[in-house]
Chain A
């Protein structure tokens, strides 16, 4: 084959766990063995966004996608795909609608319907090589800023772009920079918030792992505009690979003269440090995060003073999320006007969503703001797993809410979602089907908030515990008539009186599920039934004597010994409900489908 080819093997956290790392070496060897090393190169990339189908591998320039590749497949990929130019069909993705294999990324909705700005390098370059970044216009944004623009002009450009913070609240980024810039001080800091605490969101991890230089460049530009000379990236300790790639990138940027003193020959100096978090969700809150860097317990404090006035070590500080920073180089390179063509009137640009849960295609999805939930879940996500029915989508993590089917045509942007009782938040989208119990989900989030509450203020510390206890009782079938009113009262009180966002938004999952799925609460309380058949205590198992073949398998496997019957005496098999621990083993074991759950 004459044409030069690049094989992009994903080496992100997800694919590494599915066995991607050995594939890279074996592939390189096999390419050599079959004499292709002149024309084919192998690149280990960061997350390609399609982790569930990993290890994934993309062949450029055609953009052919292979999924679930194992090291045993390597030889065939080389001899069949690279030499003969024929697809290895069993490794192609199966389209769930047509049930046919698809090979080109442009034919796969998961990729073709995305618009990747922040993720444009993720899964395409080797994140451990600065040259891979600079070859794709990397560091051109800071060059332009330093050579052609004053700090004020940079800030104006960001303001004009309409970029809003991707860390949750959606605060206009340029405006925030302006506050910090205006505060007179000999020393200012900027911080990148990479604490990514929302369980179910992993876009910040992927950006740091797959394109760390874009975050560094964004911070450089911000520091120049604000007048800061030192920065921190606060990364959660659960992301060792992200920390490693970031540290490598910082070292390379220092060597290349992008970090340090007199950057690119200007008088601008900037140093960047990495701080590994120590496992506390609340440290994602900006004042708690700064306390943590200072070596204290990470507890939020009252604002004002805002960080822009008094932040890290009392100095003016500007803090933004990973994805926010990573947007900046693109805005500088291509201009604010270019950026404003994406998105809605008040929410510009794209947003990365982490699509997870009961959906066919899980992964990272970057779409223009204003895309509907239906497009994300059913076009890009390819619908619900196992042909089940969609029930709800949880947006924005523990601070967000669940939206039902009839809200699927909502355009996703900051203001619409907040109005609907959810929030964009970090961008976690957890899809739930008919087997997910909404009361249990509310209980799940309250358990999370209760555990992560720092305990500084009473409404949050005590209130989340009380709300959790009520929800826990309801899922056990011990709900009381007045519980729903009590929950609502508590929720509003806690919302209004808590000190920080954790407490203020902890009741959101309850309020949203009460609004859209009240009937599920009522079924638990009044009928002692869980409509989703999820809450163990409310289940009952019965044997259909018509279908039962009296094989005794269920009785032999029941851990509670509560199934009796006898073929010889023709005594039908029955379950003693009082002793049954609702483990479901009998139903799994019965080969004749004679046992049902209600």
Chain B
């Protein structure tokens, strides 16, 4: 087989194919496939949704309905590091709003935004289950707790 062509195939495309094949035959494959695809691409680009629609034989409109219903799915790319700021009840009463304020000021973006250098994306969430350490944020699923506004700069510096 000609090896030159193989390099032309997008490795992400191969991973997507694998995800689709893994779930295709199970009941209700759509959400696991979308989750897998988002893991590969970082978000759900239009061409990926079209491809999933064909592969799973689910109308694109229905897929779009599902994607926009769930908070987890993103239609736009995220920065290299995803910051989830918790504003669940425990974090709210322990000053979560001050943490949001500090992060927004520090990064000059607001909820849902991405910095110009694509280093950070900011998302406000309700509870990541580390309420005992409120207020908390998580960056790329790494939890940072017992925060005060002063600790933010140091934490951000750890993420490139």
Contact = CB atoms under 8 A, between A and B. Distances in A.
Interface of A: 13-14, 16-18, 50-52, 54, 196-202, 205, 237-240, 275-281, 292-299, 313, 354, 356-358, 362-364, 394, 397, 428, 430-432, 436, 441, 444-445, 448, 454
B133 A14 contact: yes
Interface string B82-98: 00001111111110000
B31 interface: yes
Interface stretch (B3-11, B14-22, B62-70, B113-121): B62-70
B48 interface: no
B132 A278 contact: no
B73 interface: yes
A275 B138 CA distance: 22
Interface string B47-77: 0000000000010000001100111110000
B88 to A, nearest CB: 3
A432 B127 contact: no
Interface of B: 27-32, 34-35, 58, 65-66, 69-73, 86-94, 125-134, 136, 138, 141-146
Contacts of B141: 240
A266 B134 CA distance: 48
A278 B73 contact: yes
A197 B71 CA distance: 13
Contacts of B31: 275, 278, 292, 295
Contact of A14 (B30, B86, B89, B143): B143
> Which residue, of A205, A275, A354, A357, has the highest number of chain B Cβ atoms within 10 A?
A357
B143 A295 contact: no
A16 B88 CA distance: 20
Contacts of A13: 128-130, 143
A205 B129 CA distance: 7
A357 B125 contact: no
Contacts of A200: 88-90, 127, 131
B88 A199 contact: yes
Contacts of A51: 130, 132-133, 145
A13 B133 CA distance: 10
Given A294-B28, A430-B93, A448-B126, A14 B145 contact: yes
Given A199-B127, A279-B71, A444 B132 contact: no
Given A52-B146, A278-B72, A295-B28, A14 B127 contact: no
Nearest to B63: A295
Contacts of B136: 17
A327 B70 CA distance: 31
Nearest to A430: B89
A92 B118 CA distance: 43
Contact of A295 (B29, B72, B125, B127): B29
B92 to A, nearest CB: 6
Contact of A202 (B69, B71, B125, B129): B129
A274 B125 CA distance: 23
B65 A297 contact: yes
A323 B43 CA distance: 34
Nearest to A385: B94
Nearest to A436: B93
Given A13-B143, A200-B88, A278-B31, A238 B70 contact: no
A428 B89 contact: yes
A549 B70 CA distance: 56
A198 B31 CA distance: 22
Nearest to B58: A295
Nearest to A237: B72
13 contacts: A13-B128, A13-B129, A17-B130, A18-B145, A200-B89, A202-B130, A239-B129, A275-B31, A277-B72, A356-B93, A364-B132, A432-B93, A444-B89
Contact of B70 (A280, A294, A428, A444): A280
Contacts of B66: 295-297
A497 to B, nearest CB: 23
A363 B89 contact: no
B132 A397 contact: no
A356 B71 contact: no
Contacts of A205: 129
Given A52-B146, A202-B130, A238-B127, A357 B30 contact: no
A197 B70 CA distance: 14
A196 B70 contact: no
Nearest to B29: A295
B92 A298 contact: no
Contact of A238 (B28, B129, B144): B129
Contacts of B73: 278-279
Contacts of A279: 70-73, 125
Contacts of A275: 31-32
Nearest to A293: B28
A199 B143 contact: no
B134 to A, nearest CB: 6
B89 to A, nearest CB: 4
Contacts of B132: 14, 50-52, 54, 202, 354, 356, 362-364
A278 B89 contact: no
A196 B129 contact: yes
A430 B66 CA distance: 33
> Which residue, of B35, B89, B93, B134, has the highest number of chain A Cβ atoms within 10 A?
B89
